């Protein structure tokens, strides 16, 4: 199994600013993902964080708004840029899932944009 931590756990931000969320895995993993969970909603995949190359974004999500870094096999960051109140959500990273293995989730970062 993989243990995943995220920082910060929560934040309150002003509109127009940016926040970078860190995700650390306790073991090397091939696959890392970033999800968004809006209040009372399910999880929606934002992008796949690829090590050594640009992230792969899902429909409706773009690199300018959600730049992602993946410098190695245990760490990734997601930046929420030029925030607006609509960006208030829980942002979760996950790891694993390759070849049918279990995908593990971090505890999430709760973001409130005022």
Residues that bind another protein (CB under 8 A): 4, 31, 33, 41-45, 48, 58-59, 92, 94, 97-98, 100, 102-108, 110
Give 14 or 60: the residue with its C-beta nearer to another protein. 60
State the nearest-atom distance from the C-beta of 108 to another protein, in Å: 5
Give me the least distance between CB of 92 and another protein, in Å please.
5
Query: What residue ranges in the chain does DSSP mark as E strands?
Result: 4-7, 10-13, 19-25, 32-37, 43-49, 56-57, 68-72, 75-80, 89-96, 103-105, 109-113
Q: Which C-beta is closer to another protein: that of 15 or that of 54?
A: 54
Task: Identify which of 32, 110, 34, 39 has the alpha carbon closest to the alpha carbon of residue 72.
Answer: 32
Nearest distance in Å: CB 97, another protein: 4
Contact of 43 with 92, CB cutoff 8 Å: yes
Shortest separation between residue 69's beta carbon and another protein, angstroms: 19
Measured distance CA(31)–CA(103) in Å, rounded? 9
Question: Which CB, 36 or 113, lies closer to another protein?
Answer: 36
Closest CB to another protein among residues 48, 79: 48
Helix (H, G, I), strand (E, B) or coil at 87: helix
């Amino acid at each position: 199994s993989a243990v995943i931590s995220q920082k910060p756990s929560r934040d309150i931000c002003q509109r127009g600013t940016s926040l970078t969320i860190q995700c650390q895995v306790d073991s090397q993993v091939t696959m890392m993902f970033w999800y968004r969970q809006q209040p009372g909603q399910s999880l929606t995949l934002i992008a796949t964080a690829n090590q050594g190359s640009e992230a792969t974004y899902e429909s409706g999500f773009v690199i300018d708004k959600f730049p992602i870094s993946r410098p190695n096999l245990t760490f990734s960051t997601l930046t929420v840029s030029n925030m607006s109140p609509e960006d208030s959500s829980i942002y979760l990273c996950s790891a694993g899932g390759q070849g049918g293995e279990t995908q593990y989730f971090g505890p999430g970062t709760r973001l409130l944009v005022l």
